[in-house]
Every structure is written in structure tokens, then in C-alpha cells.
Structure 1
Amino acid sequence: MSQPRDIAPGATYLITRRALRRHLLFRPDAAITQLIVYALAVSARRYNIEVHALCAMSSHLHLVVTDPNGVLPRFLQFFHRIVALGTKVLRTWEGPVWDHDATSVVRLLTRAAVVEKIAYVLANPVAAGLVRHAHEWPGAKVDVGEIGRGELRATRPSAYFDPENPRWPEQATLPLALPPAIEQDSADGFRGAVAAELARHEAQAHAEVARQGLRFLGTEEASKVSPYERATSFEALRDRNPTFAVGRGQGGAWRIAATAVRTFRASYRAALERWRAGVRSAVFPAGTWWMRIFHGASVTDAVLTTM
């Protein structure tokens, strides 16, 4: 059984989900890029999700988002469903699109964590040896300079989306928001910090490619790979799946966050044991989502602090 997760209004997350068996179903051609941007724009608007960063790799998607209203599971269910259905049409794909592992959801608890994870997301194509610089990636992505002042646009794809259904507008726009802790007057400094961290990732990737005597694949070749092939780079199975991040050198914040997670899980399990014993007055900790939404369980008003 998976661990219970604290879904807190206003939290910022790094989201990662992989295609089935690392198939390259999201190869960065124009049709799949249009689908992903459109689906994300429609889904974010529907659930009032603020999007800060995006990078659609051929075998997986990365997002950094803020969830003001505590509805992240609803957003992910809707977004991943329409991406999957659209991909099945575009790729004439039978069977599941997404890997059977659960979506990775990492809560970002400090400014340092937000900076590091946005840079990590944007650097993915470089770290994978596909392009020399993040801005060269031809797939759906966000550039550093767009955060807090840019937007992504997409016309409704002809595949899957019914033009007669009002839920699918002809045009969808996705504003790229600043993370909530970043004030507008400090936005340039924040973007500068992300750019510096991204440059660090790119320099590491360049050194690693040179060390191995390899070359970067390039945008043209990356756009032409077969979507039915699978990624062949080594990836450890059953690797760690963290639930939060605080950034480098944030030992104090890490200890506070770890204590909060342990407290939430212990409170949740205690309430669940009472519920299973038939005690419907059991009160779950703040942040409980599934039991509150689907079973009407009571949730305490007190918020477990993780900062």
C-alpha cells in the first residue's frame, strides 16, 4: 500500500510521470507538443493550477506547479487522462500509455528547492545527451525567461477533442506563473538563480558527454526517433521516490519536514485504524484527501507545518 500523502492548499510540487516501459511516445514532434500544451492549459485552468515549469521528454513528463486549492489529485487525473487518450490517437497506440508506477509527486518546501527543481526540469534534455542547451529542445517546454511573464499557447488538436464540446476551446493559453513565495519585485533575481542552476546542470552534462567520448543527439535526430522504441539508458529499478525536497544545504528544513511527514502519517494511520473498526467519528489530519473526498471522513482544521 502506498503511503498517505498530505495535499495542502498552496503547496508547490515537482511532478513526474513516465510512459509505459519508457517508450518514446512523447517524441517531440509538432502534434504531440500541441497535445501536451493544450491538455495542460485546459487542465490547469479547470483546476486553477499555477504552472511554473514544463519539460516533455520523449519518455516522460516533468512539471513544477502550485496547487492553490488543494485539488492536485483531480488535476493530475484529468491531465494525464486526456494526454493518454490523445497520445493513443496520435500514435495509433493500443493499451496503456502511462507506466504502472505511481506518479512522482515531490513537495518543494523552500525557495532553494523550487530553484533547483525547476532547473532540473529544464535541464533534462541536456542531461540526457539530446541537446547542448535546454532552450534548443524542440518539445513542449518552458524557458527560464518566460517564468512569471510568458505563456504557452496551443490550438485545439484535431485528434480526440470534440470541437462541439464546450469544454475544449479552440484556443488554450497557459500563463507561466511565478512560484507563490516569489514577489514580482524579486522575479528577476529568482530567474537569475534558476538560470545559474541550469547552467551548472548544462556544464555537468557537457563534461560527462566529453568524458564518455559521445556527442549530443541534436534537435533534428531527437524529433525523428521512433515513438515505439524504448529508452535504453540505465535506470535503477525501484529507486527512491521522495515526497518532499528542501534543496542543498538545508539540513534544518529537512529535519522539520521529515518530522512533519512522520507526524502526518502516524496521525493518518491511527485515524484509519479507528475508521476500519467502524468508528466514523475518527478525525484525520489536515491534508487528508482520499478519505475526505470519497468517504466523507472528518479532517482536523489544524495544519501540520513543514516549513
Structure 2
Amino acid sequence: MSQPREIAAGATYLITRRVLRRHLLFRPDAAITQLLIYALAVSTRRHGIEVHALCAMSSHLHVIVTDTQGVLPRFLQFFHRIVALGTKVLRQWEGPVWDHEATSVVRLLTRAAVVEKIAYVLANPVAAGLVRHAREWPGAKVDVGELGHGVLRAVRPTVYLDPENPQWPEEVALPLALPPAVERDSAESFRRDVAAELERQEAQAHAEMQRQGLHVLGAERASKISPYERATSFESLRDRNPTFAVGREQDSAWRIAAATVRAFRASYRAALERWRAGVRSAVFPAGTWWMRTFHGACVTDAVLTT
């Protein structure tokens, strides 16, 4: 049984989902880029999600968002379904698109965590040895200069989506919002911090490539590789899937966050035990989503603190 997760309106998350068995179905060509941006734009508008950063790798997808209405599971269900169905048609792919592992959802609790994780997302193609600098990646992505004020645009893909259905507009625009942890008057400072962290992570990736004697594949070759091939680089199986991030050297924030997660889970399990015993008046902690949405369980308005 998976751990219960608090779904809070206004929370910012790093979301990662992988393609089945690391197939390269999201190879960065124009068609898949169009599909991903279009699906993300329609899905976020439908569910009140703000997008801060994006990088679509050939075998997985990273998005950093803020869930303004506390409906993250609904958004993920809709977005991942549209991407999967469109990809199946586009790539003429039989069977599932997404890996069987659960979507990674990491809540970003501090400004430092937001800066580090956005840089991590943008640096992914560099860390994978595909390009030398993040700006060279040809797939769906956000550049540092676009953070908080850029707009991604796409026209409706010709595959899968019905042009007669009004929920699929002919063109979409996806504005890139500033994360809530960043004050509007400090947007430039925020972009400089992300750029500095991105430069640090790129340098780290370059040093690791040199240590291993590896060479950068290049954007052109990455765009032409078969989408039916699989990534061959080493990747540990069933690695840790964190619930939250606070950034480096944030020990106090980490302890508070960990205690809050433990308190939420303990309260949730206590309420669930009462519910299973037939006590329908059991009150679940604030942030309980599944039990409230599908079973009408009572949820307190008070947020757990430690």
C-alpha cells in the first residue's frame, strides 16, 4: 500500500514520469514537442495548474507546477492520459506508454528547493550526456530567461484529438508563472539564482563525463534516434522516491517538513482505521484527497503543525 499524500492548494511540485522500460518515445522531434506542450497547456488550464518549468527527455518527463486548487491527482490523470493516447497514435505504439512505477511527486517547500529543482530539470539533457548546455536541447523545455514570464505555444496536433470538440482549441498558449515562493519584485534575482545553479550542475555533469571518458551525443543525433530504442545508461531500480525537498543545507526546514509528513500520515491512518471499523464520522487530516473525493469522508480544515 502506498503512503498517503497530502494534497494542498497552493503547493509547488516537481513531477516526473517515465516511459515504459525507458523506451525513447519522447524523442525530441517537432511532432512530440507539439503534443506535449499542447496537452500540458490544455490540462493546466482545465485544472488551474501553474507551470514554472518543463523538460521532456526522450524517456521521461519533468514538470514543475503549482496546484492552485488542490486537484493535482485530477490534473495528472488527465494530462498523462492525453499524452499517452496521443503518443500511441503518433508513434504507432501498441500497449502502455507510461512505466508501471508511480509518478514521482516531490513537494518543493522552500525557495532554495525551487531553485535547485528547476536547475535540475533544465540540466537533465546535460547530465544525460545528450548536449553540452541545457539551452541546446531540442525537445519541449523552458529556458532560464523564460522563467516567470515566457509563453509556450502550440497548435492542436493532428493525431488523436477531434478538431470538432470544443475542449481542443486550434491553438494554445501556456504562460510560465513565477513560483509562489518567489516575490514578483525579485523575479530577476530568482532567474539569476537558477542560472547560477544550472551552471554549477552543468559543470558537475561535464566533469563526470570527462571522468568516464564519455562524449556528448549532440542535439541532432538525439533528434534522429529511433523512438523504439531504449536508454542503455545505468539506472538503479526502485530508488528512493522522496515526498518533499527543501534544498541543500536546510537542516531545520528538513526536520520540520519530515515531522509534518509523519504527523499527517499518523493522523490519516488513525482516521482510516476508524473508517474501516464502520465509523463514518472519522475525520481525516487537511490535505486528504482520495477519501474525501471518492468516499465523501470528513476532512478537517486545520493544517497539521509540529
Residue 68 of structure 2 is matched in structure 1 by: 68
Q: 2:283 — aligned with what?
A: 283
Q: How does 1:18-167 map to 2 (within 5 A)?
A: 18-167=18-167
Per-residue CA deviations over 1:19-55 (Å, capped at 9, x if unaligned) read 0001000000000000000000000100010000000
Q: How big is the shift at 1:214?
A: 1.7
Structure 2 equivalent of residue 6 of structure 1 = 6
User: CA separation in 1, counterparts of 2:158 and 2:151?
Assistant: 22
- Aligned pairs for 1:133-282 within 5 A: 133-282=133-282
Count how many residue pairs are aligned between Structure 1 and Structure 2.
306
Q: 1:184 offset after TM fit, Å?
A: 1.7
1:183 positional shift: 1.6
Q: Which amino acid aligns with 2:205?
A: A
Secondary structure (helix, strand or coil) at the match of 2:224 reads coil
SS in 1 for 2:168: coil
Deviation, structure 1 residue 305: 4.3
Larger deviation, residues 201-210 vs 116-125: 201-210
The 1:196–1:228 alpha-carbon spacing in structure 2 relative to 1, beyond 3 Å, is same
Provide the alpha-carbon RMSD of the alignment. 0.7
Q: Distance in 2 between matches of 1:182 and 1:117?
A: 14
Which ranges in structure 1 are unaligned for 5 or more consecutive residues? none
Q: Distance in 1 between matches of 2:37 and 2:281?
A: 44
2:278 aligned partner, one-letter code: G
Worse-superposed segment, 175-184 or 289-298:
175-184
The Cα shift of 1:208 comes to 1.3
Separation in 2 of the partners of 1:210 and 1:65?
A: 34
TM-score (norm 2): 0.99
**Which SS does the other structure have where 1:266 is aligned?**
helix
Code of the aligned partner of 1:300: T
Q: C-alpha separation between the residues in 2 aligned to 1:304 and 1:176?
A: 31
Amino acid at match of 2:101: D
Percent sequence identity over matched residues? 84
Q: Which ranges of structure 2 fall in alignment gaps of 5 or more residues? A: none
> Which amino acid counterpart does residue 52 of structure 1 have in structure 2?
H
2:205 partner SS: helix
Distance (whole Å) between structure 1 residues aligned to residue 271 and residue 211 of structure 2? 53
**Could you tell which deviates more after superposition, 182-191 or 50-59?**
182-191
Q: Distance in 1 between matches of 2:305 and 2:133?
A: 38
What is the TM-score when the length of structure 1 is the normalising length? 0.99
Q: CA deviation at 1:181?
A: 2.0
Counterpart of 2:226 in 1: which secondary structure? coil
- Deviation of 1:304 (Å): 2.4
Deviations along 1:82-103, one digit per CA (max 9) or x if unpaired, are 0000000000000000000000
Which amino acid counterpart does residue 117 of structure 1 have in structure 2? K
| Per-residue deviation, 1:225 | 0.8
For residue 119 of structure 1, report the CA deviation from its aligned partner. Answer: 0.3
Once residues 304 and 221 of structure 2 are traced to their aligned partners in structure 1, the CA distance between those partners, rounded to angstroms, is 48
One-letter code of the match for 2:16?
T
